[in-house]
Structure 1
Amino acid sequence: MSDVGQGDDGAPRVLFTDAAPVSADLVVGADGTHSLVAQHLAGGRTNSPAGIIGFSARTLRTDLSPGEQQRLGPRSGLAIGPWGAALYVGFLDPVGNAVLDAPELRMSVTTGPTYIWGAMFPESHATDSLRELRDGELQAALLGRFRQQGWAEHTLEVIARADPQSVAAYRFNAASTRATELAPWPAGRITALGDAVHATPPTAGMGAGAAIRDAAALLQHLGRVTDGDTTTAEAVNQFEAGMRQRGSEILTLAMRTVRLILATDTTLGAAATTVTTPILAAAARLRHR
């Protein structure tokens, strides 16, 4: 898709670089953070950099030492250190998951107990340069940055033993947390959903789920059009009102963590984190005994 607009008859029209234009009754942009559809509707970008560069990959649980397997366990958690360094480790065991009973999904990359981790640093010239690296080179540079900041070697094992080809870097983008600033366009027969409207940093763990909720809500409202109870424009208007509220809620949660990470990237924030982190870590150990 290269652009979206309206034909002479007022119907939504989608343009392609390698195919003929297509007219439709309704166009829904689910094309992510850099959505062409949302940019067309809003007259510009619908999000901006949140100030953090993220790095992610996957590490098989069996590739970790027995001690680290026991320490991490079947849990997920986030550690935030001084100067904006943070590491999230999420546990995933898809074995027995009902969705994998479908034969066509047996090719899932993650088929055994795996830690899906995400490292975070404030955006800067140094972290921006890491985005140009790939695979093992990026993995080594990331480990080096954590070591420079004094992270214990055992906490970095999940990064060191990750699949090098799964390591990737990306920028966190975020839309406004204000509901009134989301989907800032009149309702019509072109709309958008998910990150195209409420681009959400992964710090809430709800971005994909919110997009699915958007799609389900849109279908529900459009069902009333089929029943003859409302028009398409009215259904889209009601859908967008609910989407604004949902988007605002998850963005508020996600940005709370983003702001916390950025707050440690100051002299005072780093000092406070240095003092409180050992206390919080000890409390977490006691809680999980």
Structure 2
Amino acid sequence: MRVVVVGGGIGGLALGAGLRRRGFEVAVFERDTDVAATGGYHITLDERAQSALQGLVEPQIMQRLLASGSALRLRERDAFWDRRGRLLGHGPDLGDSGSIDVDRVTLRMLLAEAVGEDLHLGCSVSGVGLDDHGAPQVLFTDRAPVSADLVVGADGTHSVVARHLAGGPTNSPAGIIGFSGRTLLRDLGPGERQRLRPRSGLAVGPRGAALYLGFLDPVGNAALDAPELRMSVTTGPTYIWGAMFPESAATDSLRDLPCGELRDALLSRFRAHHWAEHTLEVIARADPDSVAAFRFNAASTRAADLAPWPAGRITALGDAVHATPPTAGMGAGAAIRDAADLLEHLSTVAAGTAVLTDAVDRFETGMRRRGSEVLTLAMKTVRWILATDTTLGAAATAASTPILAAAARLRH
């Protein structure tokens, strides 16, 4: 069986690696010319995603991933703050967590290595369809079409493949513009180092202004103590942060600013929302070249709305189907689980115990459930942030946070 995968992000590479490992004929086509040319941010892989990945890649790839990942169990409990930097509460104890955080660049490079020569970079896909023999076919802007037994779209939020299948977009703007960057712990002053501590956290203020801080330390908090296997692009304790504002003409215009100007404009916007100056230090001292802006897109949270097409020899997975805002930290993990599930169903076809379209149908049924699960979690935070942008929500946020902060001080 020949499988063509469109898209070399996390989901597409995971599927390509698994297919190659199981002996399928596979080709992964990616428009980027360098797998390291991706957002330098981090993703969380829970135990389900890690288990799925173990079935897709060779053991040595998994070992290198763990040696390059930051174990959640080794950091402090997450924190919640207000716009003044006052502590409001904590997340659950992470001592029993099996989840890891890993640089997106690191994971993508490891998966690309697992796909090997079956990964074709610099290939821009223009469409999909059927060839003269009725087989699925991928069209390119600068090379001859390629046919296959199965085509899988893993080409993200603006998927060419999923749009073809659905007859239109499979997601829409979620109402938030995100801004992200990286700040080394050592670049912060003593006060902020003490307040933020080695933990992740979230601060939400009135009018939809929010700031997430993800703490990543693949060296000090390595999930596997094997320095000789480590290849993380993060080598010291780092806050990989994400700022959020409701989408508007003003916030949307920031997306076109160069990195340094974007950082300054972002600081100005938080100041206009009356955030304490010390809470903005993590942004002010960020590497200016790391600062970027992007729109949150989301598919429907209803499973029945996802993959709204009859099963066939063209399908899709990951954000192409269930585009998920980063507010749950589960999008990449869900794409990996999609890839593992599709591989298992395709293996039954290769073994002669199932028909291809039936296998795809079963895969898409499971994918709809997975997508609905992660989207429901992610959209809870999105809706909470957007709720503070109403007159009532802004007033309630401003009034309640001092009370929550006082209660937190009494508890400690």
TM-score range, shorter chain: over 0.9
**How far off is 1:281 after superposition?**
3.9
Distance of aligned partners of 1:285 and 1:38 in 2 relative to their CA distance in 1, 3 Å threshold: farther
Matched, 1:154 2:281: no
**How far off is 1:100 after superposition?**
7.9
* Counterpart AA for 1:27: V
Aligned partner of 1:193 among 317, 331, 334? 317
Alignment of 1:37-56 (within 5 A): 37-56=161-180
1:232 maps to what in 2? 356
CA distance in 2, matches of 1:214, 1:126: 37
Distance of aligned partners of 1:161 and 1:283 in 2 relative to their CA distance in 1, 3 Å threshold: farther
2:218 maps to what in 1? 94
CA distance in 2, matches of 1:102, 1:172: 37
CA distance in 2, matches of 1:273, 1:216: 42
Distance of aligned partners of 1:201 and 1:102 in 2 relative to their CA distance in 1, 3 Å threshold: farther
* Counterpart AA for 1:264: T
Distance of aligned partners of 1:33 and 1:63 in 2 relative to their CA distance in 1, 3 Å threshold: same
- Equivalent position SS for 2:256: coil
Distance of aligned partners of 1:281 and 1:24 in 2 relative to their CA distance in 1, 3 Å threshold: farther
> Could you list the per-position Cα deviations for residues 232-271 of structure 1 after superposition, in whole angstroms to 9, with x for gaps in the alignment?
1111100100000110111111111111111111111101
CA distance in 2, matches of 1:80, 1:226: 50
Aligned partner of 1:127 among 226, 251, 264? 251
Q: Given that residues 60 and 113 in structure 1 are in contact (C-alpha distance below 8 angstroms), is that contact kept between their aligned partners in structure 2?
A: yes
CA distance in 2, matches of 1:284, 1:195: 38
Matched, 1:205 2:329: yes
2:304 maps to what in 1? 180
Matched, 1:33 2:157: yes
1:75 maps to what in 2? 199
Distance of aligned partners of 1:283 and 1:59 in 2 relative to their CA distance in 1, 3 Å threshold: farther
TM-score normalised over the length of structure 2: 0.67
CA distance in 1, matches of 2:196, 2:316: 39
> Could you list the per-position Cα deviations for residues 35-66 of structure 1 after superposition, in whole angstroms to 9, with x for gaps in the alignment?
00000000100000011100000100111112
> Could you list the per-position Cα deviations for residues 152-179 of structure 1 after superposition, in whole angstroms to 9, with x for gaps in the alignment?
1111111111000000001110001110
* Counterpart AA for 1:62: R
CA distance in 2, matches of 1:63, 1:210: 34
**How far off is 1:7 after superposition?**
1.3
Q: Given that residues 4 and 40 in structure 1 are in contact (C-alpha distance below 8 angstroms), is that contact kept between their aligned partners in structure 2?
A: yes
The share of aligned pairs that are identical, in percent, is 77
Runs of 4 or more consecutive aligned structure 1 residues displaced over 3 Å after TM superposition: 96-103, 279-287
**Contiguous gaps of at least 5 residues in structure 2:** 1-124
- Equivalent position SS for 1:2: strand
Q: Given that residues 81 and 264 in structure 1 are in contact (C-alpha distance below 8 angstroms), is that contact kept between their aligned partners in structure 2?
A: yes
CA distance in 2, matches of 1:33, 1:284: 40
**How far off is 1:102 after superposition?**
6.8
2:382 maps to what in 1? 258
What's the RMSD between the two structures over aligned residues? 1.7
Q: Given that residues 94 and 100 in structure 1 are in contact (C-alpha distance below 8 angstroms), is that contact kept between their aligned partners in structure 2?
A: no
What number of residue pairs does the alignment pair up?
286
**How far off is 1:9 after superposition?**
1.7
Distance of aligned partners of 1:99 and 1:192 in 2 relative to their CA distance in 1, 3 Å threshold: farther
CA distance in 1, matches of 2:410, 2:141: 59
CA distance in 2, matches of 1:189, 1:43: 16
CA distance in 2, matches of 1:172, 1:64: 28
CA distance in 2, matches of 1:245, 1:67: 45
2:397 maps to what in 1? 273
TM-score normalised over the length of structure 1: 0.95
**How far off is 1:231 after superposition?**
1.1
CA distance in 2, matches of 1:231, 1:101: 46
**How far off is 1:285 after superposition?**
6.0
Aligned partner of 2:233 among 81, 104, 109? 109
Matched, 1:8 2:147: no
**Contiguous gaps of at least 5 residues in structure 1:** none
Distance of aligned partners of 1:285 and 1:4 in 2 relative to their CA distance in 1, 3 Å threshold: farther
